[in-house]
Amino acid sequence: MIKGELLYEGKAKSVFRTDNPGELLIYFKDDATALNGEKHGIIEGKGIINNKLSEFFFKQLKDRGVKSHFVEKIGEREMIVKKLDMIKLEVVVRNIVAGSLVKRLGLEEGTQLPVPVVEYYYKSDELGDPMLNRYHIMALDLAKIDELNQMEHVAFSVNTILRDLLRAKNVDLIDFKLEFGRLDGEVILADEISPDNCRFWDTVTHEKLDKDRFRQDLGGVEEAYQEMLKRLTL
């Protein structure tokens, strides 16, 4: 596999061409941002851990029938993925109240939601990734109704699978963000699954084991990421 031209430099990952036109190389960085890019920092070893955890989750999902862009991990910080026509949406699934939901709904952090909540956000740094509903999405021609139905179906399936996996490791899945892309007319899972885009809490102590430790200056950020890797893969 030949690493080619840099196509995209993101907040946490870099994307490169490869010698296979149908595949890309993703490099996971230690850079961290929060608060819509206002806060910047480095979480030592984060890229290595997120690469390993994403590989773990994508393989677990594949074994249970959920397709993703993942092909293989080829280094500590690098994985090969299928090249997709990315959909400019973030699909967020919430099981327990945390983050922005506390302010928006006036509920106490940690409140168990009676049903999982799905939210859509427009991937636009210029606009601050605003929340959208289905009608906004169709008006902007970001996705068709059948694609939205498929994304929600996959999101709920991922939620069920991950909650069961994590519960066995004494971790609660509070919420998480997914991204999707098109491949040969089919919508499949993309991006990553890691403490960067999921909220993980210890089931007993409710200790936060994710990027919120960085967002909220709680300390022990690197240790939290390492703990998630240890629980899931060792």
Q: Total domain count for the chain?
A: 2
Please tell me the predicted confidence (pLDDT) of residue 140.
97
Residues 31 and 105 in one domain: no
230 inside domain: no
227 inside domain: no
118 inside domain: yes
Please tell me the predicted confidence (pLDDT) of residue 134.
97
Which of 25, 48, 82 is where one domain is finished?
Answer: 82
Residues 111 and 157 in one domain: yes
Residues 62 and 100 in one domain: no
Domain enclosing residue 212, as ranges: 85-221
State pTM to two decimals.
Answer: 0.95
Please tell me the predicted confidence (pLDDT) of residue 129.
94
Q: At what angle do helices 145-167 and 46-63 cross, to 10 degrees?
A: 100
- CATH number, domain of 100, equals 3.30.470.20
Taking the C-alpha atoms of residue 29 and residue 5, their distance in angstroms, rounded to an integer, is 17
Taking the C-alpha atoms of residue 98 and residue 117, their distance in angstroms, rounded to an integer, is 12
Please tell me the predicted confidence (pLDDT) of residue 39.
86
Please tell me the predicted confidence (pLDDT) of residue 71.
98
- CATH number, domain of 7, equals 3.30.200.20
Type of residue numbered 184: D
- Is residue 47 a contact partner of residue 153, using CB atoms and an 8 Å limit? no
DSSP for 174-222 reads EEEEEEEEEETTEEEEES--STTTEEEEETTT--B-STHHHHTT-S-HH
Please tell me the predicted confidence (pLDDT) of residue 70.
98
Coil/strand/helix, residue 93: strand
Residues 31 and 146 in one domain: no
Please tell me the predicted confidence (pLDDT) of residue 34.
85
Residues 118 and 209 in one domain: yes
Residues 132 and 44 in one domain: no
pLDDT in tens, the chain (234 residues): 789 999 999 989 999 999 999 999 999 999 998 877 678 999 999 999 999 999 999 999 999 999 999 999 999 999 999 999 999 999 999 999 999 999 999 999 999 999 999 999 999 989 999 999 999 999 999 999 999 999 999 999 999 999 999 999 999 999 999 999 999 999 999 999 999 999 999 999 999 999 999 999 999 999 999 999 999 998
